Structure 1
Amino acid sequence: MKCIKCGTDNKLKDRTANQGQCVKCNHPFAFEPTSMSKVKITDPLFAKILSDISANNTLFFTPKQLFYFLNMRLGGKSFSSGLNLFLGYLTLSGFIGFWSVNITGGNQEIVALLLFIFNAVYIFKIFQDSDSSKLSLKSRRANARALQIIGIIILGGGISASILIIGSFYAFTLSVLMGMVSIYLGTQQLQNSGLSTQEFLFSQNEFENWVNRWRQINGLIVKILPSPREDNTLATFNPDVTAYSFDRLIVCDRATIAQLLIANNFHFENNCAILSITGYPQGIFETMMQMLRRNPDLKVYALHDCSPQGIGLVHHLRTSPKWFKDSNIIIIDIGLTPRQIIAAKRGMFIQSSPESAQAAKKLTGEIRQNLSAEEIEFLESGKFVELESFTPHRLIQILQKGIAGSQNIESADSGLFLAGDRGNDIYVVQSFG
């Protein structure tokens, strides 16, 4: 493992002999991968992850974003490409074939039986991996494609061998059945993988211990944000400032997302106000709302998790006296919505919980009427996706794209559709990024 301070490569015996320190500069290592159980982390890997999530230390991020990003990066390291699985299959099947010919004296029926058992075990293992919630979506899809390729090989090779070499109808039948089953399983897994749920590779406690250990050895993580602070001290504004009003407002369902956008100067760079539905930032909330309500051309953008609570954000904005009840302002639901996840079928970290399923069943009729049957089924199954599963750069990019696409709402290229009747003036972005 290389030292992140001087770049010296330290072998295990070097690290052990030097009490877990670099043999050249004596800088302590935060992690010792050989003593870790399931998940292996090295200092260079963790440093690279911190650099990548912060876009080379230019963007702030939340602890939960780091939790997600570390999990997805480690899940990706266990990824086996379709090509590797295919080459592994050819190598093993060749070895099994050669070995079985030698030990059986060339008995073709026993060789065919042994190859059948090997193929059955290999296909079962790949199918398990293609359905594993511990693996990333990319890895699961690679395993599914490998099932298809192996099925084609078994059909071609098995049928040819059973007819030309073995001359057995029994072997021919087994080859056809196994090949078709492998192709079918691979095809089904590819179709279903987009909405499969995923689990974390490690616990929240393990993650916090790793972060604390890194801080003890290497100092503060500069770009990680603390929990949003509730500050009820009212800020004072120059009257000239309060006479001004933004044309755009972003409302987040959680204070952590509002804090993230503000910390990364999204409000300055995109000329918009940013608030959370919980009233963050408290010190300027009331003043900001007074300024915004004076603007008849205001557009409100809702940004939320795909969860029962997040889905209710737009309805709350439209019906709450604290927000925009009895107002004709335009509200644009940027997402995240079940419709966007179902349409994307790629790369989103979908989780599931009984609590989320129970909360979805309690959604009011007003909220349900703007959801399709497929979206309601998604939510009532307990599935949800958090905004913090996206990196800061990706989240900012998606939000900018959603705002840019809403400049001309009536345009067919805007990527928006009207939710409910026209009196609501609520639009939903078709795609989350």
Structure 2
Amino acid sequence: MICPSCSRNHKYRDGMTCACGYHFVFNPKIDRLTDGKFQTVIKQASKNDTYFFTKNQLYTAFCRKSPKPVSVLVLIGIFIVSVFVVIIGLMIGSWEVTVGSVFVAVLFLGALFGIPSSIKKFLSRDNFDTLLHRWMQVNEIPKLLVKPQLGAPPAQQWQEPDIFDYGVERILVVEHDILVDLFVKNGFHAEQSCLIISANGYPTYLAQRLPELVKKNKNISIFLLHDFSPTGSTVVNKFLDSHKELFKNARILDVGLFQEDVKKIKVFKRLMLEKEPKRVPVDAIPYAYLALLFSGSISKGIPFSHLLLEWLEDDGDDGGSYG
């Protein structure tokens, strides 16, 4: 177990407290996870403390570094070979070959029914939330956005007021309040001259400036960003309906997630662990890719679903497991 505090390789047999005094949160024998691995997941989600990130993005990193189940086709192949060898063993009267093959077949059945269930339970969102809660009881995660914090106007020295000094060229309406924090705290609003508000009108002090902005630029572009869910597009469209007169001349582009987008990204399937996921949050996409995709949408004027295939989604690109 690598100690997150001093980087010492601490032996499990020496207990759960490192020589430096750090007490390990996770017991690898019970939790199938080490503190060092979880710290690696956090670093991946933040790109080594470069970006703020949400719980959904941390969960994506958690799933991407998870152990992969053995392919069912591989297991079936092993089983067929085992049965074939059993038959040969019986025909030639070899007790050793027969018993060995039966043993392999039993292992196959255990793997087929036990491993996928075990990994599914480990990767479940409930299990992840429990592990995260335990970690945060002991360790801080400075870049993790737990709840919206931009409800009040920022201090003058912060960069947000400056956005009105060089003009807002477009408006981004997101489904969830926390996504406003994600984009603003990572500086996306300044990079793209973009006013970012949620469909709930958060933060209020920015939403109140909409009439002023639209009056100055009646043909302003408005981008809608939402989850793939039964209500995702409905939420942002209700916001548009409530501002129908204000946005009547605006150019509106829906850049949210839809079912066809979800099918393109393999990691989404691992997040939901269902054949037909009912909801995939847009911030399941790591922030660096999310910002890149949305920047492409802005520059090309197309939904970022058209750009999703450019996301190199090698599920195991980071290597490692949680054992």
How much is the aligned-residue C-alpha RMSD, in angstroms? 4.4
- How many residue pairs get aligned? The number is 302
Which one has the largest radius of gyration? 1
Asked if the contact 1:249/1:300 (under 8 Å) is kept, the reply is yes
> Percent sequence identity over matched residues?
23
Asked if the contact 2:52/2:143 (under 8 Å) is kept, the reply is yes
Pairing of 1:87-98 with structure 2 (within 5 A): 89=78, 93=82, 97=85
Partner of 1:420: none
Partner of 2:28: 33
The whole-number CA distance in structure 2 between the counterparts of 1:128 and 1:22 is 34
Pairing of 1:125-140 with structure 2 (within 5 A): 126=112, 134=120
Partner of 2:266: 346
Pairing of 1:242-281 with structure 2 (within 5 A): 245-281=167-203
Asked if the contact 2:257/2:305 (under 8 Å) is kept, the reply is no
1:222 paired residue among 142, 155, 171:
142
Partner of 2:92: 106
The whole-number CA distance in structure 2 between the counterparts of 1:59 and 1:240 is 21
Asked if the contact 1:134/1:200 (under 8 Å) is kept, the reply is no
Q: CA offset at residue 204 of structure 1?
A: 2.8
TM-score normalised by L of structure 2: 0.74
Partner of 1:395: 290
Q: Would you say 1:208 and 2:133 are equivalent positions?
A: yes
Q: CA offset at residue 352 of structure 1?
A: 9.2
Residues 1:13 and 1:132: Cα distance change in structure 2 (over 3 Å): closer
Asked if the contact 1:332/1:429 (under 8 Å) is kept, the reply is no
Q: Would you say 1:77 and 2:77 are equivalent positions?
A: no
Pairing of 1:412-427 with structure 2 (within 5 A): none
Asked if the contact 1:233/1:283 (under 8 Å) is kept, the reply is yes
Partner of 1:57: 49
SS at match of 1:335: coil
2:58 paired residue among 36, 55, 66:
66
Asked if the contact 2:149/2:181 (under 8 Å) is kept, the reply is no
SS at match of 2:268: coil
Q: Would you say 1:335 and 2:256 are equivalent positions?
A: yes
Pairing of 1:397-412 with structure 2 (within 5 A): 397-406=292-301
Q: CA offset at residue 340 of structure 1?
A: 2.1
Partner of 2:37: 45
Offset from partner CA, 1:335-372 (integer Å, 9 cap, x none): 11123224x1632146499xxxxxxxxxxxxxxxxxxx
Partner of 1:22: 18
The whole-number CA distance in structure 2 between the counterparts of 1:45 and 1:133 is 16
Q: CA offset at residue 118 of structure 1?
A: 6.3
Q: CA offset at residue 116 of structure 1?
A: 9.2
Residues 1:205 and 1:240: Cα distance change in structure 2 (over 3 Å): closer
Asked if the contact 1:234/1:284 (under 8 Å) is kept, the reply is no
Q: Would you say 1:7 and 2:7 are equivalent positions?
A: yes
Asked if the contact 1:54/1:223 (under 8 Å) is kept, the reply is yes
Q: Which amino acid aligns with 1:333?
A: D
The whole-number CA distance in structure 1 between the counterparts of 2:281 and 2:181 is 16
The whole-number CA distance in structure 2 between the counterparts of 1:21 and 1:271 is 49
The whole-number CA distance in structure 1 between the counterparts of 2:128 and 2:93 is 52
